[in-house]
Every structure is written in C-alpha cells, then in structure tokens.
Structure 1
Amino acid sequence: MKNYIVYFLMSGLLLTNAACNDEWEDEVYYQNIALKAVINSEGVTNIYIPYEGNGEFVYQLPVIVGGSQINESNLDIQIEVDKDTLKDLNTERYKLREDLYYQELPQANYELPSAICHIPAGEWQGLYDIKFKFSGLDLRHKWVLPLTIVDTDAYDPNPRENYRKALLRVMPYNDYSGTYSATNMKIYIGDDKYSMAMDKRNLFVMSENRCFFYAGNISEELIDREKYKIALTFNEDGTITAESVDPNNKMNFEVIGQPTYTTRVMEDATYPYIEHHYTTINMKYRYNDISTYEDYAIPNRVEGSMSMERKLDTLKPERDQIQW
C-alpha cells in the first residue's frame, strides 16, 4: 500500500514539473515585438525633447524583440498612428472633463520618415525615428502622438496593449522649464497678513527662452485655468518679462517691480561627473481670483522665489535625463 502511495506522489510531481517546464519554455522562447514606451500614472509616456532653435528634433523610439533566443530573421516592423486608443484613454480617464483631454499631435508637427522599423537578424532592438516640429504648435496644450504596431504575418506583436502601443506625450524642455520648489513663494489673499504657499510649480515651454505657469495657488486642472497663465520671458541680462497669456487679462495680472532669475552650476561633492544646475526665480505680482465666486473677484498678492535643480550626469546626453 505504501508503494502505491509513493508511486502516485512521484507521478504527480513529474507531471507538475513537466507542465511548469512547458509553460516556462513558452514564455521565455516565444518572440514578439513591443514598443518600449512605459506608461505613467496618467496613462501616457512622457518623452522629454529639447526645444531647439529651429523647432525640430528627431526622437528615436525603441522597438524590441522579446524572448531569450537570438533573433534569426531580418524584421521590418510596421508602425502607424493609432487615433482610437487616444480617444479611449480620454473617455475612460477624464469622462466629461473634455478640457483635460489629451490632444492628438497635428500631422503638420511631426514626420515619420519611414513606415517601418528595421531590426537586422541577430539584433534584439531597433530605433524608430520620429521627427517633431514645434513651429506653429501651441505648447499650452497636452499633445500626444499615438502609435501602434501593425499586424502582419511576418512577426507577432506583443498581445498586451500597453506593449504594442505607445501614447507619446510630447514634453519639450528648455533651460528654464521643469518643476520648481515654490514653498518660498508666499501667497496673500487681500490684505491678509498670513500667507500660504504651494509645494511646487511647473513651468511649461512656450519657446526657446519662454515658459508659462499658473498664478498663485491655481490648480493645473481648474476648468478656468487658461485665464491664469503667466508667461515668463528669460532675458540675457538676468531679468524676466512677465505677462498674462490671456490677451484680455481677465485676472488683472500686474507685476510688482522687476522679476529676475539666476542660474548656477555646482560640481557634486562626491561624484565629479555629476553637476547640479540651479535656476532661481524672484518675482512679485498681483492677480484676481475670478473663479471662486461668480460675482466677486478675490485679490491675491504673490511674492518670493521659486527654485529648480537639475542633477545631470555629464557622461550621458542631457535629453536622456530631463524628467519633471
């Protein structure tokens, strides 16, 4: 009787191991094609592109062959624009808040030099060129270029949607854009002596030396946020020209004194190849909150400084390190 029990236990163990081994082999050796575009918490992939003087930049999207075996074939991966996935993302994430929707990048502002990405035999990755053109593009909006791998008999796209598709959120940057610590930028309501502050403020690119941010404590998701955009032009003499982006200046934006900025670079105390780039903005201004109450504008006064740090490895390209 004991021998029968041992026999059945051994048989079950062998069958289990065989099943596990087969599943492992399927997962490891099966080759499929994917786009390397890891999504963030907002459902898109931020790509940080330097705003060049001519307004153009070529971005290379990695296209990957999965599996552990060597790729033995020359592969021509077809890639095309995928409008439907972007529409689905907007509907599922933002529902009726169409003001928060990602906008599809206009065709005039990008160029796909080729419809395919070639991956030679023996290689596991190819780079797909995308030329972005910022001329005439209103960078105040959230632009996304949605791409997907096309089904063909020549290869197998990764079955997981987040691997075969890429929603590229175009994030241009210049020397002054990024996330600033704003705890030293004090916000006063009316004649109140007590102030409040925001933890951080984002500066978004408008051109090579121009950015915008939202006034005071205005949320970046406020329905009326367009009324509160402040444009900053960084002049070569260290001064800043500040003005309301809204041509009607409904928030009654007013600069107090002369805004200025400073930049400095410091070598890391431990690693000499690491540089710390600091940008500090000093300014005072007034604006009215015209959204909280329908018939009453709340005067606000803001004064202080905002600072940003970029920690850069001088051994790597700058564009591969900018994230904010």
Structure 2
Amino acid sequence: MKNIYMLFLAITGLISFVSCNNEWEDEQYEQLVSFKAEPNTQGVAWTYVRYKPDGIVKFDLPIMISGSTPNTQDRVVRIGLDRDTLATLNREQFGHREELFFRELPSSFYSMPETVTIPAGESLVTIPIEFSLADIDEVEKWVLPLQILEDPSGNYQVNPHKHYKRAMLRITPFNTYSGAYSGSFYKIFLEDDKNEALTINEHRAYVVDEETIFFYAGTRDVDFLDRKYYKVFVKFLDDGQLEVWSDNAENNAFKIDDAQPTYYTMEEEWDAVKPYLKHVYITLSFAYSFEDYTAIPGLRVKYSTEGTLSMQRDLNTLIPDEDQQIQW
C-alpha cells in the first residue's frame, strides 16, 4: 500500500512538473506592436539628425512586438501621421499661445514608407526616415507626429498605451558646434550696470549650416514669443576666430563689443575610466549689446553681455552611428 501511495505521489509530481513547463512555454503577455520613442516631460521625443547641406540623412525609428515568445508570422505594420495628438499636445502644453506650439514638420523635409514589415522570427525592426533639413528654420519647434495604424485584417494588434502607439519626434538637426552651452561664466547686464549681472544656466545653440549656429540674445530662449527678432549668429572660422552678427540689427541695435576677444577653442580628451568615451570641450568667447524693443511697447531697454560659453560633448566611440554615438 505504501508503494502504491509513493507511486501516486511521483506520478502527480511529474504531471505538475510537465504542466508548469508547458505553461511557461505559452505566451505570457500580449504581442503588441509599439514604437520605441520615449517622450520627455513635454510629450515629445528629441530626435537628433546630422545636418548636411546637400544630402539626405537617414534616421532609423525602432518598432517592436512585445511578448515572451517569438513573433511567428510576417506582419505588415501601417504607419501614418497623428495630427490630432499633436494638436492636443499643444493645447495641454501651451494653451492658446500659438507662437509656442510645436509645428508639424512639412513633408518637403522628409520621406518615409507607409508600411514596414516585421518578419517572422523577428521582434524588432526599424522604419527608415530620410531627412533633408538644409533650409529648415529652427526658430520653429518642428515635430514629426507618427502613429501606428490599426490593421483591419487583424494581422497585428497596436499597443493601446499612448506613449507606445505614437511617436512625437522633436526633429533637431545638429552640427559640430550645436547643443546646450553652460552659461555660468556668461554675464548679462541691464543698461550697462556692471554691479548687477544675470546668468542663465543653459544657452542652446541651433544649427544654421555646417559652420554656423545661432543663440537667442540675452535672457531669451525658445519659449519667448518674440524670439525670432533676437537671434545671435556665430560662425566658426578656421583660424579659431568667430564671426558674430544679428540679422535684425537695424531694429535691435545689435553691436559686438570689441573690448572682449572673440574666439573659440576646441579640445578633445579620452575618459580616464571608460577608454571608449571621448570628451570634446568647446569654449566660445564673445561680447555684444542689443536693445529689447518688443517686450514693452514704446520702450527700448539696452542689454550687454560678456564672458564665455562652454559645452562638453561626450561620444561613445563603440557606436558607429553618429546620431547615436553622441550622449545627448
């Protein structure tokens, strides 16, 4: 009787063991199609694209199928624009201040396929988007709003989560000198009062062409309604000198201050701990004055600046693609 009881327990345990194994072989989650484009606090995903004046730059946007088991069939996924979500995002972020809205990137600046195939056995592919950004005006905040469209035939299911179903790509061209510069050593004075200085932690530089960037003058940034009237252009010359000007000097009375040398330095250094990581340090020195003529109607307020701006760009040299190599 004891032997029969032990045999019963052994058979029961074996059945349980087999059942557990079979259970883990089954799909544990839903197989859903998703973008890989994590948004920031403003609801957009910064997408850096190398600036090329005469060429097309390809950006690969990842798209994947979730699940614990391999994808078992070819799936043709449809991609489309999502203007409704972009409009909702603008209202949530900026209310009725249309000058601050994200703008849909015009179709003349990009091309992409309407579908992408995820082959059987694969769970991750990329959508090739070709950008041509030579004449783009970075005063506007360009966004390419994409969504995964439903499939009437049921060939795939779209992830219902809004951050996976949609990709709000904040298109940002970059060159060697663009990016976020530290303003800790850059002083801004009101009416030449050297006793009271303003500083801004970050001055962002935007692309004009391969050798030229622009900043916004004084304390202005991308969230000022009148920002387009206060662009400061900086061109990098071969001899370490800078050419600095404004395209609106007749109205904002922009003037370079020759009392401070105008130049730039660029140095490279390998990381002491991570031998594959290269640091590039760029320092800019220039000073200027301008008049704010739009903030208060009928009143012109003079500002002057002096000091240096600096940027550190870190490059992971193990990554071959430049847009992915830079650790933004």
Instruction: Flag as ranges the 4+ runs of structure 1 deviating above 4 A.
Output: 24-27
Q: Secondary structure at the match of 2:308?
A: strand
Contact 2:139/2:222 (<8 A) preserved:
no
Q: By how many angstroms is 1:177 displaced?
A: 0.5
1:144 aligned partner: 143
> Cα 1:26–1:221, aligned 2, differ >3 Å: closer, same or farther?
farther
2:87 aligned partner: 87
Q: Secondary structure at the match of 2:57?
A: strand
2:324 aligned partner: 320
- 2:278 corresponds, among 269, 275, 279, to 275
Contact 2:316/2:327 (<8 A) preserved:
no
Quick check: 1:263 aligned with 2:266? yes
The alignment's TM-score, normalised by the length of structure 2, stands at 0.86
Q: Secondary structure at the match of 1:93?
A: helix
Q: Secondary structure at the match of 2:240?
A: coil
1:208 aligned partner: 210
* Paired amino acid for 2:273: T
* Alignment map for 1:211-226 (pairs within 5 Å): 211-226=213-228
Q: By how many angstroms is 1:163 displaced?
A: 0.8
Quick check: 1:182 aligned with 2:183? yes
Q: Deviations over 1:137-174 (max 9, x none)?
A: 22221111111111112110001122111111101111
Q: Secondary structure at the match of 2:63?
A: strand
1:301 aligned partner: 304
* Alignment map for 1:28-107 (pairs within 5 Å): 28-107=28-107
2:18 aligned partner: none
* Whole-Å separation in 1 of the counterparts to 2:55 and 2:131: 8
1:168 aligned partner: 169
Aligned CA-pair RMSD: 1.9
Q: Secondary structure at the match of 2:99?
A: helix
Q: By how many angstroms is 1:40 displaced?
A: 0.5
> Cα 1:52–1:265, aligned 2, differ >3 Å: closer, same or farther?
same
* Paired amino acid for 1:250: N
* Whole-Å separation in 2 of the counterparts to 1:241 and 1:191: 23
* Paired amino acid for 2:103: Q
Contact 2:53/2:133 (<8 A) preserved:
no
* Whole-Å separation in 1 of the counterparts to 2:27 and 2:250: 59
Contact 2:82/2:145 (<8 A) preserved:
yes
* Whole-Å separation in 2 of the counterparts to 1:39 and 1:117: 22
2:119 aligned partner: 120
Identity fraction in percent = 36
* Whole-Å separation in 2 of the counterparts to 1:217 and 1:77: 46
Quick check: 1:236 aligned with 2:238? yes
* Alignment map for 1:125-136 (pairs within 5 Å): 125-136=124-135
Structure 1 unaligned runs (5+)? 1-23
* Whole-Å separation in 2 of the counterparts to 1:237 and 1:288: 31
Q: By how many angstroms is 1:85 displaced?
A: 1.4
Q: Secondary structure at the match of 2:262?
A: strand
* Paired amino acid for 1:95: G
* Alignment map for 1:238-253 (pairs within 5 Å): 238-246=240-248, 249-253=250-254
> Cα 1:55–1:253, aligned 2, differ >3 Å: closer, same or farther?
farther
Q: Secondary structure at the match of 2:146?
A: strand
Q: By how many angstroms is 1:219 displaced?
A: 3.8
Q: By how many angstroms is 1:26 displaced?
A: 10
* Alignment map for 1:3-14 (pairs within 5 Å): none
Contact 2:50/2:174 (<8 A) preserved:
yes
* Whole-Å separation in 1 of the counterparts to 2:218 and 2:25: 57
* Paired amino acid for 2:326: I
> Cα 1:313–1:38, aligned 2, differ >3 Å: closer, same or farther?
same
2:314 aligned partner: 311
Q: Secondary structure at the match of 1:28?
A: coil
Q: Secondary structure at the match of 2:157?
A: coil
* Paired amino acid for 2:314: K
Contact 2:190/2:302 (<8 A) preserved:
yes
> Cα 1:203–1:249, aligned 2, differ >3 Å: closer, same or farther?
farther
Q: By how many angstroms is 1:189 displaced?
A: 1.6
Q: By how many angstroms is 1:56 displaced?
A: 2.0
Structure 2 unaligned runs (5+)? 1-23
Using the TM superposition, name which of 156-165 and 266-275 deviates more.
266-275
* Whole-Å separation in 1 of the counterparts to 2:55 and 2:170: 17
* Whole-Å separation in 1 of the counterparts to 2:184 and 2:138: 26
Q: Deviations over 1:210-264 (max 9, x none)?
A: 1111112224312222211111111222111111133x64221111225211101
> Cα 1:310–1:162, aligned 2, differ >3 Å: closer, same or farther?
same
* Whole-Å separation in 2 of the counterparts to 1:78 and 1:295: 54
* Paired amino acid for 1:136: D
Contact 1:48/1:323 (<8 A) preserved:
no
* Whole-Å separation in 1 of the counterparts to 2:146 and 2:281: 36
* Paired amino acid for 1:251: N
Contact 1:48/1:322 (<8 A) preserved:
no
2:11 aligned partner: none
